[in-house]
Homo-oligomer: A and B are copies of this chain.
Amino acid sequence: MAPAAPEQNVDLLSASQYFFVYNAFSFTLACMAATTLFLWFARSQVAPAYRTALTISGLVTAIAAYHYWRIFESWDSAYDVIDGTVTVTGLAFNDAYRYVDWLLTVPLLLIELVLVMKLSRSETVSKSWKLGIAAALMIILGYPGEISDTIQERAIWGALSTIPFLYIVWELFKGLGESIERQPVEVRKLIKDARLVTFASWGFYPIVYMAPFVGAGGGSVETALQVGYTIADIIAKCGVGILIYVIAARKSEFEPGWGAKAGTAPAT
């Protein structure tokens, strides 16, 4: 999946596989854009303290919508389908848009989780910095492995990238875990769900990263990887975003003056 290597799949990608990925990209673009608008409209329906969490959740899906549009265009220009046969145009399919996307969205995903908890200012700032930097490091260290030509380099960078990943897991379940126990009992389970979905949806990415280790290649593997990425992205970004909204709406009911004023209890 280095930018210059789509040729390997040229005679292996069937027209139906090509269109399946094509439609999956378009579907994901629509999902991301729709979630963005939903989250931004919802800002006025939650107490002011939770609006930044919704702004950022919507930014995550907006940034992903932009990148899915770029990925869609790149996929479109990398292949021609004439009379049911797929040929490569010579232009590379730029899968690196995914890394560029993650570099922005993965830190923001962790920050939206911190923000919706409404911790003390110092705790919010320190947890956002720690988790944000660890997330950025995880992505940056993964990238050289992704574009390398050798399995050895891929393994080394993959291992280095695992260090910040383990730190994030520890911070989410240990450090943030203690703060979650101090959340109102009505939203405690929802926040744990949001944490779990964030964490579980990441499980797909290392599987894709390690695909070359088992010599996986060809049209059906490429199709499975691309569609798998889109499903993981929809769960991690739209799914978690909606959860953040539900948490913000429930917690707004406890804000002095807000629940009554807005006649809240706003859904889901």
Contact = CB atoms under 8 A, between A and B. Distances in A.
Interface string A256-268: 1110001111111
B45 A267 contact: no
* Chain B CB within 10 A, most for which of A7, A38, A40, A257: A38
A42 interface: yes
Given A19-B94, A19-B96, A34 B49 contact: no
Copies of this chain held together in the complex: 2
Contacts of A125: 268
A48 B263 contact: yes
A160 interface: no
A45 B45 contact: no
Contact of A23 (B91, B100, B262): B100
A41 interface: yes
| Interface footprint category on A | 35 or more
A62 B70 CA distance: 19
A121 interface: yes
Interface in A10-54: 15-16, 19, 22-23, 26-27, 30-31, 33-34, 37-38, 40-45, 47-49, 51-53
Interface stretch (A77-85, A161-169, A195-203, A212-220): A77-85
A34 B16 contact: no
Contact of A4 (B59, B67, B84): B84
Given A5-B84, A30-B104, A257-B263, 19 more contacts: A3-B15, A4-B83, A4-B84, A15-B92, A16-B147, A23-B94, A27-B103, A27-B104, A30-B67, A30-B100, A33-B62, A34-B63, A37-B55, A41-B51, A41-B55, A48-B263, A48-B264, A121-B265, A124-B268
